[in-house]
Amino acid sequence: MRRLRKIKIVATLGPASSDYDTIRALFEAGADVFRLNMSHGEHSDIAERHSIIRQIEKDTGRPIAILADLQGPKLRVGVFANGQEELSEGQDFRLDLDDTPGDATRVQLPHTEIFEALEDGATLLVNDGKIRLKVKDFGKDYANCVVTVGGTISNRKGVNVPDVELPLAALSEKDRKDLDFVADLGVDWLALSFVQRPADVEEARTLARGRAAVLSKIEKPSAVKNFDAILEASDGIMVARGDLGVELPVQNVPPIQKRLVRKCRAAAKPVIVATQMLESMIDSPMPTRAEVSDVAAAIYEGADAVMLSAESAAGSYPIEAVSTMNNVAVEVESDPTYRDVINASRGGDKQTVADAIVSAAREIAETTDIQAICCFSQSGTTASLVARERPQVPILGLTPVMRTARRLCLTWGIHCVPTGEVGRFKEAVLNAVAAAKSEGFATEKDQIVVTAGVPFGQAGTTNILRVAPCDDRLIYPQDQND
Report residue 456 CA to chain centroid gap.
29
289-301 confidence digits (pLDDT tens):
999 999 999 999 9
Angle at the Cα of 167 (from 163 to 170), degrees rounded to 5?
A: 100
SS3 of 80, please? strand
Strands 8-13 vs 305-308: parallel, antiparallel or unpaired: parallel
Question: Does the annotation mark 76 as catalytic?
Answer: yes
Architecture of domain 353-479: 3-Layer(aba) Sandwich (3.40)
Question: Does the annotation mark 404 as catalytic?
Answer: no
Phi-psi region of 459 (alpha: psi -120 to 50; beta: other; left: phi over 0): beta
Ordered by start, the domain boundaries in the chain are 8-72+169-334, 84-160, 353-479
Q: What is the DSSP letter of 93?
A: E
| Integer Cα distance of 133 and 114 in angstroms | 14
Report the run of H or E that residue 117 belongs to, with start and end. helix 112-117
Residue at 150: amino acid letter? G
Q: How far is CA 241 from CA 5, 467, 469, in A?
A: 24, 42, 45
Question: Does the annotation mark 211 as catalytic?
Answer: no
Class of domain 8-72+169-334: alpha beta
Query: What is the pTM assigned to this prediction?
Result: 0.94
Task: Out of 123, 275, 382, 461, pick the active-site residue.
Answer: 275
Report the run of H or E that residue 134 belongs to, with start and end. strand 131-139
**Full pLDDT tens readout for the chain, 482 residues:** 799 999 999 999 999 999 999 999 999 999 999 999 999 989 999 999 999 999 999 999 999 999 999 999 999 999 999 999 999 999 999 999 999 999 999 999 999 999 999 998 999 999 989 999 999 999 999 999 999 999 999 999 999 999 888 999 999 999 999 999 999 999 999 999 999 999 999 999 999 999 999 999 999 999 999 999 999 999 999 999 998 999 999 999 999 999 999 999 999 999 999 999 999 999 999 999 999 999 999 999 999 999 999 999 999 999 999 999 999 999 999 999 999 999 998 876 667 898 999 999 999 999 999 999 999 988 999 999 999 999 999 999 999 999 999 999 999 999 999 998 888 888 899 999 999 999 999 999 999 999 988 888 777 678 899 999 998 665 544 454 44
Phi, psi of 290 (to 5 degrees): -65, -40
Question: Does the annotation mark 263 as catalytic?
Answer: no
Phi-psi region of 328 (alpha: psi -120 to 50; beta: other; left: phi over 0): alpha
CB under 8 Å, gap of 24 or more: what pairs does 198-201 form?
A: 198/226, 198/229, 198/230, 198/232, 198/233, 200/169, 200/170, 200/171, 200/230, 201/170, 201/230, 201/233, 201/234
Task: Out of 6, 217, 220, 258, pick the active-site residue.
Answer: 217
Alpha helices in 248-346 (DSSP H): 253-266, 289-301, 310-313, 318-333, 336-344
Strands 8-13 vs 106-108: parallel, antiparallel or unpaired: unpaired
Task: Out of 3, 76, 174, 176, pick the active-site residue.
Answer: 76
Task: Out of 35, 49, 269, 388, pick the active-site residue.
Answer: 35
Burial class (CB in 10 A: 0-12, 13-18, 19+), 57: middle
Q: Which one of 1.20.120.350, 2.40.33.10, 3.40.50.970, 2.60.40.2130 gives the CATH number of domain 84-160?
A: 2.40.33.10
**How many beta carbons lie within 10 A of that of residue 349, not counting itself?**
7
Residue at 367: amino acid letter? T
381-437 confidence digits (pLDDT tens):
999 999 999 999 999 999 999 999 999 999 999 999 999 888 888 889 999 999 999
